[in-house]
Amino acid sequence: MTDKNIRIGELARLTGTKVPTIRYYEQIGLMPEPLRTASNQRVYGEAQVQRLRFIRRCRALGFSIEQICELVELSSETERPCEEVDILTRRHLDEVEAKIADLSALAQDLRALSQRCQGGGLISCCGVLDGLNKSV
Amino acid sequence: MTDKNIRIGELARLTGTKVPTIRYYEQIGLMPEPLRTASNQRVYGEAQVQRLRFIRRCRALGFSIEQICELVELSSETERPCEEVDILTRRHLDEVEAKIADLSALAQDLRALSQRCQGGGLISCCGVLDGLNKSV
DNA sequence: ATAACCCCTCTAGTTACTTGAGGGGCAAGG
DNA sequence: CCTTGCCCCTCAAGTAACTAGAGGGGTTAT
Q: Phi/psi zone of residue B34: left (φ > 0), alpha (ψ -120 to 50 degrees), beta?
A: beta
- Alpha-helix runs per DSSP H in chain B: 8-15, 19-27, 46-60, 65-75, 83-114, 127-133
Which of A86, A106, A121 minimises the CB distance to B117?
Answer: A86
* Mean pLDDT within B8-26: 94
**pLDDT tens by residue, A9-52:** 999 999 999 999 999 999 999 999 999 998 899 999 999 999 99
**pLDDT tens by residue, B98-119:** 999 999 999 999 999 998 887 7
Q: Which of A50, A132, A69 is nearest to B92 (CA)?
A: A132
Are A110 and B96 in contact by the 8 Å Cβ rule? The answer is: yes
CB contact under 8 A, B117 and A53: no
Q: How far is CA B94 from the centre of its chain?
A: 16
A81-85, A110-114, B101-105: lowest mean pLDDT where? A81-85
Are A25 and A60 in contact by the 8 Å Cβ rule? The answer is: no
B135: pLDDT confidence band, cut at 50, 70 and 90? low
Q: What is the pLDDT of residue A3?
A: 60
Check pLDDT > 80 for residue B120: no
CB contact under 8 A, B80 and A111: no
* Mean pLDDT within A127-135: 83
CB contact under 8 A, A82 and B129: yes
B136: pLDDT confidence band, cut at 50, 70 and 90? very low
> What number is the ipTM of this complex?
0.85
Query: Which element (helix H / strand E) includes B43?
Result: strand B42-43
Q: Are strands A35-36 and A42-43 parallel, antiparallel or unpaired?
A: antiparallel
Q: What is the pLDDT of residue B1?
A: 44
Protein A19 CA to nucleic acid D13 C1', in Å? 18
Check pLDDT > 70 for residue A135: no
* Mean pLDDT within A82-96: 93
A8: pLDDT confidence band, cut at 50, 70 and 90? very high
> In A, which residues are within 8 Å of B132 by CB distance?
54, 57-58, 61, 71, 75
**Which of the pair, B118 or B46, is modelled with greater confidence?**
B46
Backbone angles phi, psi at B123, to 5 degrees: -55, -35
Are A12 and A18 in contact by the 8 Å Cβ rule? The answer is: yes
* Mean pLDDT rounded to a whole number for chain A: 90
